[in-house]
């Protein structure tokens, strides 16, 4: 008879499986924790983390707010902030760190192999140095992770120092650039001034000369003109510095650098440059003869102003065709670029015109005698160097005052790096907690896998899940009373009453080992005999040993060769026994034999004895399919643990 059962797993099933396999779960969890602890104790290297927090310079901080176009495109981080982070991780900074700390030699000794500078820089970027931004601020967090605490601190300190140095170079304003130019020029001008002064003194000592009024007037013209040239050159250098700062401010904006490198040019612009140069030459020449308020000078000034305006419009037209934007910030940069380009054109033209006037004065100087010309040349050069030196010194002091308050253009270290007392990695508590969770997970997984592939019957629950009905449970006990009560329960369940109707024939078989059913047969016969039931035991097991049988019961044993159940003589014997006794118990061979299957259909009840942790689930399925009205007795020893 075939039965069906529900294979859907329930919460109670899960809890029962976990309880049954708890030893596996506990063991695997404990083993996982032990392996993790050994790894942490003997194999895991401590990693120290050195951290520092740096505030961006004002020039970068002021650009943290994103333009509407960048926000619309989904850019979540300011280009200026990203730029500073990339500068900190740049090869320019890291190579300086490698060279300062001799990291190539350090990592070569550590790895016992020769390493290159490039591989060290790559290792720093990949495994050692991490640069991140602090959310919604203009702060950058630097983290250096290394198993050498002292070296990690040195690397962090060196990165900060080199980053500040590079940032200071990149974040210069026009005054800073001009100050550097002035400070570079001052030693050279001072040395040249000393040389010219010595030459002039030597000339005055060795030669006697009385310059004419005409020569003195020419020298004064040289003096005034050279002062203007020096002033014009400084102004041109200042404009170049402003252009450099403008390039830095918009260097992160795509396409703008090409506009900055582009030099506006056209036929009209060349013509305007020529006109401006001619006007400035005329103006500088007349300046030597007239005062600034003279009608001639004012007229030329007006003409120069008109030409400058035309140059500005032409440059604006040229750049407009190269650069278009609706962003107000970019529009402001665009206007600055136009003004700078215009001023540079005017400044170059102004310097060229002054140089042309100077050439004319040089020609006038050639008219004087050699001695006076030599004296005028020395005096002119002396005045020029003296003017230049005085002007450079004066400008240096002005620039120093203007840049004295510019320290905010340099990154500020808010949190200095320090030597930690304990390593940041590995976090032993966290790793052990994860190992515990992992061990429990693996234990549960293995428990369910063993449950899925385990074909043995472990308890009555396995029988219930396999065939859909509970077995009769028998747990042998050393206590005679308890064991007797258990056997009574078996008799009641198998015979369905305390007594049995006549001709009740019961077939007892075991799944593999027939010895499991011996104590059950013994108890059943004893209880039935004491209750006054005529009981006979028909032993069909062959050479199997029989239990002690009470005197009231009969035993019919067939020893020797296996019997043929088609034999008419055997059938007649069984029929006679059934009529003569109230209960007939047949002890048959293993349930998988063909003889047992035939007997099952001749008997009123078939009982299959199973042994926990030994019988298989396939035995149940076979019995349900091939035996008539099977009942199941599960023998389970209390001392036997389920695995």
Task: Say what the pLDDT of residue 261 is.
Answer: 52
Higher pLDDT, 95 or 264: 95
Task: Say what the pLDDT of residue 192 is.
Answer: 84
Range in 77-86, 217-226, 374-383, 491-500 with the lowest mean pLDDT: 491-500
Global pTM? 0.49
Report residue 503's pLDDT band, with 50, 70 and 90 as the boundaries.
very low
Buried b / exposed e over 485-515, threshold 16 CB at 10 Å, is ebbeebbeebbeeeebeeebbbbbbbbbebe
291 exposed, middle or buried (CB, 10 Å; 0-12, 13-18, 19+)?
A: exposed
Task: Say what the pLDDT of residue 32 is.
Answer: 93
- Cα separation, 440 vs 22, whole angstroms: 10
Question: Could you tell me if 559 and 607 are in contact, meaning their C-beta atoms sit under 8 angstroms apart?
Answer: no
Mean pLDDT, to the nearest integer, of 94-102?
A: 91
Question: Could you tell me if 91 and 161 are in contact, meaning their C-beta atoms sit under 8 angstroms apart?
Answer: no
Between strands 535-539 and 583-587, the pairing is parallel
Range in 51-55, 81-85, 590-594, 636-640 with the lowest mean pLDDT: 636-640
Cα within 13 Å of Cα(627), Cβ side: 31
Higher pLDDT, 340 or 265: 340
What is the Cα 149 distance to its own chain's centre? 23
Task: Say what the pLDDT of residue 600 is.
Answer: 78
Range in 118-122, 156-160, 288-292 with the lowest mean pLDDT: 288-292
- Cα separation, 428 vs 426, whole angstroms: 6
Mean pLDDT, to the nearest integer, of 58-81?
A: 49
Q: Is 121's pLDDT higher than 50? A: yes
- Cα separation, 580 vs 505, whole angstroms: 12
Between strands 48-55 and 412-415, the pairing is antiparallel
To the nearest whole percent, how much of the chain has pLDDT over 90? 8
Residue 396, helix vs strand vs coil: helix
Report residue 570's pLDDT band, with 50, 70 and 90 as the boundaries.
low
What is the DSSP code (8-state) at residue 553? S
Q: Is 599's pLDDT higher than 90? A: no
Higher pLDDT, 22 or 591: 22
Report residue 567's pLDDT band, with 50, 70 and 90 as the boundaries.
low
Task: Say what the pLDDT of residue 579 is.
Answer: 73
Question: Could you tell me if 540 and 563 are in contact, meaning their C-beta atoms sit under 8 angstroms apart?
Answer: yes
| Per-residue pLDDT reduced to its tens digit, 168-178 | 776 666 667 66
Mean pLDDT, to the nearest integer, of 262-270?
A: 66
Range in 83-97, 496-510, 590-604 with the lowest mean pLDDT: 496-510
- Cα separation, 505 vs 253, whole angstroms: 100
* Residue length of the chain: 643
Mean pLDDT, to the nearest integer, of 140-157?
A: 90
| Per-residue pLDDT reduced to its tens digit, 194-252 | 888 888 888 877 877 767 777 778 777 777 777 788 788 878 877 777 777 676 665 54
Higher pLDDT, 538 or 107: 107
Highest mean pLDDT among 134-143, 216-225, 438-447, 531-540: 438-447
- Cα separation, 638 vs 643, whole angstroms: 14
For the chain, which domains are there? 11-44+426-453 (no CATH), 213-367 (no CATH), 460-635 (3.40.50.300)
Mean pLDDT, to the nearest integer, of 507-535?
A: 74
Task: Say what the pLDDT of residue 64 is.
Answer: 44
Q: Is 312's pLDDT higher than 90? A: no
Q: Is 445's pLDDT higher than 60? A: yes
Report residue 287's pLDDT band, with 50, 70 and 90 as the boundaries.
low
Q: Which long-range contacts (CB under 8 A, 24 or more apart) does 602-605 make?
A: 602/505, 602/574, 603/505, 603/506, 603/507, 603/628, 604/503, 604/504, 604/505, 604/506, 604/629, 605/494, 605/495, 605/504, 605/505, 605/506, 605/507, 605/629, 605/631
Q: How many CB atoms lie within 10 A of CB 79?
A: 19
Report residue 66's pLDDT band, with 50, 70 and 90 as the boundaries.
very low
| Per-residue pLDDT reduced to its tens digit, 320-335 | 665 555 555 556 666 6
Cis amide bond preceding 426, omega within 30: yes
To the nearest whole percent, how much of the chain has pLDDT over 70? 74
| Per-residue pLDDT reduced to its tens digit, 542-564 | 655 566 666 666 777 665 444 45
Task: Quote the mean pLDDT of the chain.
Answer: 75
| Per-residue pLDDT reduced to its tens digit, 341-382 | 777 777 887 788 888 877 887 887 787 877 877 878 888 788
Report residue 434's pLDDT band, with 50, 70 and 90 as the boundaries.
very high
H helices of 171-253, where?
174-206, 213-249
Who's near 629: CB < 8 A, 6+ residues apart? 1, 604, 605, 606
Question: Could you tell me if 250 and 333 are in contact, meaning their C-beta atoms sit under 8 angstroms apart?
Answer: yes
Task: Say what the pLDDT of residue 438 is.
Answer: 94
């Amino acid at each position: 008879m075939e039965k069906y059962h529900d294979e859907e797993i329930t919460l109670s099933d899960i809890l029962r499986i976990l309880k049954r396999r708890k030893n596996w779960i506990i063991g695997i969890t404990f083993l996982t924790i032990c392996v993790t602890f050994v790894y942490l104790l003997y194999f895991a290297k401590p990693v120290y983390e050195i951290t520092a927090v740096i505030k961006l310079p004002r020039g970068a901080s002021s650009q943290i707010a994103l333009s509407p176009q960048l926000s619309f495109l989904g850019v979540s981080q300011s280009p200026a902030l990203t730029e500073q982070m990339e500068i900190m991780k740049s090869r320019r900074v890291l190579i300086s760190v490698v060279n300062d700390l001799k990291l190539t030699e350090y990592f070569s000794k550590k790895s016992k192999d020769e390493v290159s500078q490039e591989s060290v820089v790559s290792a720093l970027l990949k495994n050692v140095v991490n640069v991140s931004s602090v959310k919604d601020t203009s702060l950058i967090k630097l983290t250096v992770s290394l198993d050498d605490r002292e070296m990690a601190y040195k690397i962090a300190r060196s990165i900060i120092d080199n980053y500040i140095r590079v940032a200071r170079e990149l974040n210069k304003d026009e005054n800073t650039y001009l100050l550097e130019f002035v400070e570079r020029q001052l030693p050279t001008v001072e040395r040249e001034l000393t040389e010219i002064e010595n030459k002039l003194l030597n000339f005055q000592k060795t030669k006697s000369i009385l310059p004419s009024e005409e020569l003195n007037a020419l020298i004064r013209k040289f003096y005034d003109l050279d002062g203007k040239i020096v002033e014009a050159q400084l102004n041109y250098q200042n404009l170049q510095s402003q252009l450099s700062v403008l390039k830095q401010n918009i260097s992160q904006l795509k396409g703008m650098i090409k506009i900055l490198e582009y030099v506006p040019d056209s036929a009209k612009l060349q013509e305007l440059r020529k006109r401006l140069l001619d006007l400035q030459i005329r103006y500088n020449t007349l300046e030597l003869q007239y005062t600034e308020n003279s009608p001639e000078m004012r007229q030329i000034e007006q003409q120069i102003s008109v030409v400058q305006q035309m140059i500005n419009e032409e440059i604006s037209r040229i750049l407009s065709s190269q650069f278009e934007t609706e962003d107000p910030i970019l529009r402001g940069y665009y206007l600055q670029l136009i003004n700078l380009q215009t001023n540079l054109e005017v400044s170059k033209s102004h310097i060229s015109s002054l140089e042309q006037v100077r050439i004319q004065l040089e020609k006038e100087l050639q008219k004087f005698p050699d001695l006076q010309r030599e004296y005028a040349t020395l005096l002119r050069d002396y005045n020029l160097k003296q003017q230049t030196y005085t002007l450079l010194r004066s400008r240096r002091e002005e620039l120093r005052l203007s840049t004295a308050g510019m320290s905010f253009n340099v990154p500020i270290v808010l949190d200095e790096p320090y030597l930690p007392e304990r390593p940041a990695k590995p976090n032993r508590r966290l790793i052990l907690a994860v190992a515990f969770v992992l061990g429990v997970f693996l234990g549960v997984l293995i428990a369910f896998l063993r449950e899925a592939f385990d074909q043995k019957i472990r308890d009555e629950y396995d029988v219930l899940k396999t065939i859909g009905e509970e077995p009769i449970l028998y747990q042998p006990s050393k206590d005679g009373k308890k064991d007797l009560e258990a056997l009574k329960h078996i008799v009641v369940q198998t015979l369905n009453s305390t007594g049995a109707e006549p001709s009740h024939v019961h077939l007892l078989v075991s799944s593999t080992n027939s010895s499991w059913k011996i104590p059950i047969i013994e108890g059943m016969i004893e209880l039935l005999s004491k209750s006054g039931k005529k009981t006979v035991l028909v032993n069909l097991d062959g050479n199997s040993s029989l239990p002690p049988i009470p005197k009231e019961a009969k035993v019919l044993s067939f020893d020797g060769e296996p019997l043929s159940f088609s034999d008419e003589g055997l059938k007649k014997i069984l029929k006679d026994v059934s009529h003569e006794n109230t209960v007939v118990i047949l002890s048959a061979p293993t349930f998988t034999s063909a003889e047992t299957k035939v007997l099952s259909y001749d008997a009123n009840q078939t009982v299959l004895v199973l042994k926990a942790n030994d019988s298989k689930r396939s035995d149940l399925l076979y019995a349900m399919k091939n035996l008539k009205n099977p009942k199941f007795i599960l023998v389970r020893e209390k001392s036997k643990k389920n695995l």
